[in-house]
Amino acid sequence: MGIIFTIIILGIIVFIHELGHFATAKYFGMPVTEFAIGMGPRLFSVKKEETVYSIRILPLGGFVNIEGMQPEKFDLEAFKKERMDEIIEKLKDEINSENNEIKDEQFISEVKKRLDAAVKQELKRQENIQKNGFFTKSPFSRFIVLIAGVVMNFISALVALYIMLSIAGVVPPQYSQAIVGEIEQNSKANGKLKVNDKILTINGKNIANWSEMTKKIGEISQNYKNEDVILKVLRDNKEITENVKLAYNEKTRSNILGIHLLSQKSTFGERIKISFIMFGDYFKLTLDGVKMLVTGKVAMKEMTGPVGLPKVIGEAYGQGGLFAMLGVFILISINIGIMNLLPIPALDGGRLIFIIPEFFGIKINKKIEEKIHLIGMIFLLVLMMIIVFFDVTKYF
């Protein structure tokens, strides 16, 4: 199941990412020759107008081939030679398969006819590239096309977060208001606090949610000497101050308040708000992970790549079922979005670095830029091989 879910989740995430590039490129009138999910040889393809839509054999990514991204000079003679060789071979195969005999003059005439048609079509394509290709567009248009994939990943993560919260139907504990749902029997808050009390402040510090409350109690617990903890609570729409003591818990080996959270149903507005808050928390968590990798606090072998994902996703499914798959989708979407924003040549973020100076009138030589992106691509391929190697070792 891990492999199947990995292919499905990665396929959806890659599709959404590439759809962002594709849709914006089409919007700005850039010619797109292929929209591909996966890498390597094609498994399936269909052509509609100028674009080939394909699924490729390796589910390790995808791409949108936007014409004019590489500032190449069209060599008509080289094109003629290449296409002539292809046409001759194809025509020979056709003749042999039909067991036909054809005179040399007819053969040469057919080759010339097909070559003229191919040249005419290619010249028309090249004219369109010179007029509407990627590098002919404004810096703003190119910036939008490059960042659109990342934006789509982030939007899809937000939508998935909202769906997850809607399925759960309740506010996650860490984002819930600090409302008392149950008081433990050995808690010293018995007789002081009541069910439905909303804790507003602890020792004068405002408490916004259950997470802040538990954090504050944890801080007090570290150097606790049986002093009173001053709680301001909202009870029956009235603010009341209660002085309570913490109780020592053998299980956690710490001093606790001894209360449990009241489960709170989420509203439409709360789900939207919490979706953005959770997105921010996931975003920060991913950035911290990248920072630890760069600084060496986390070893490269701790990273999980596409080969290691089935194992991780399989374990997640075993523990949380389809609901856990939604969480995995959110995490991977945000991770892929952030990784693509990194200023590494060949990635979206690396290409954006070369566009930003153009907003200030600074132009960078496109040939030099493409050479830098080529180096970046080689670096990424080497990095991918290292990650795949460590992924494989995790299975043993």
Give 108's contacts (C-beta < 8 A, 6+ positions apart).
none
> And the tokens for 109?
């005439």
* Cα–Cα–Cα angle for 13, 17, 22, rounded to 5 degrees: 140
Look up the pTM and report it. Answer: 0.81
122 noted as active-site residue:
no
Helical axes 309-341 vs 139-168, angle rounded to 10°: 140
Helical axes 104-132 vs 76-97, angle rounded to 10°: 140
Q: Is residue 192 part of a domain?
A: yes
Mean pLDDT of 315-330: 86
Q: Convert the pLDDT of each residue in 109-166 to its tens digit.
A: 877 888 888 888 888 888 888 888 898 899 999 999 999 999 999 999 999 999 999 9
Q: Convert the pLDDT of each residue in 58-96 to its tens digit.
A: 887 899 999 988 766 777 778 788 888 788 777 777 666
Cβ pair 199, 180 in contact under 8 A: yes
CA distance 40 to 62: 10
Looking at residue 396, what is its pLDDT?
67
Q: Which residue among 18, 34, 67, 369 is the active-site one?
A: 18
Confidence of residue 103 (pLDDT cuts 50, 70, 90): low
Looking at residue 277, what is its pLDDT?
93
* Cα–Cα–Cα angle for 153, 62, 312, rounded to 5 degrees: 65
Task: Note whether 335 and 315 are same-domain residues.
Answer: yes
Task: Note whether 340 and 298 are same-domain residues.
Answer: yes
Task: Note whether 243 and 308 are same-domain residues.
Answer: no
Q: Is the dihedral of CA 90, 35, 12, 302 positive or negative?
A: positive
List the CATH number of the domain containing 225.
2.30.42.10
DSSP for 71-124, written as a single string? -PPP-HHHHHHHHHHHHHHHHHHHHHHTT----HHHHHHHHHHHHHHHHHHHHH
Task: Note whether 279 and 391 are same-domain residues.
Answer: yes
CA distance 118 to 124: 10
Please give the single-letter amino acid code of residue 261.
L
Q: Is residue 56 part of a domain?
A: no
Supply the range of the domain harboring residue 98.
Answer: 76-132
Look at the block and give the residue holding tokens 């538990």: 214
Task: Note whether 209 and 282 are same-domain residues.
Answer: no
> And the tokens for 237?
């729409």
Q: Is residue 292 part of a domain?
A: yes
**Total number of domains in the chain:** 3
Q: Is the dihedral of CA 65, 66, 69, 74 positive or negative?
A: positive
CA distance 196 to 235: 7
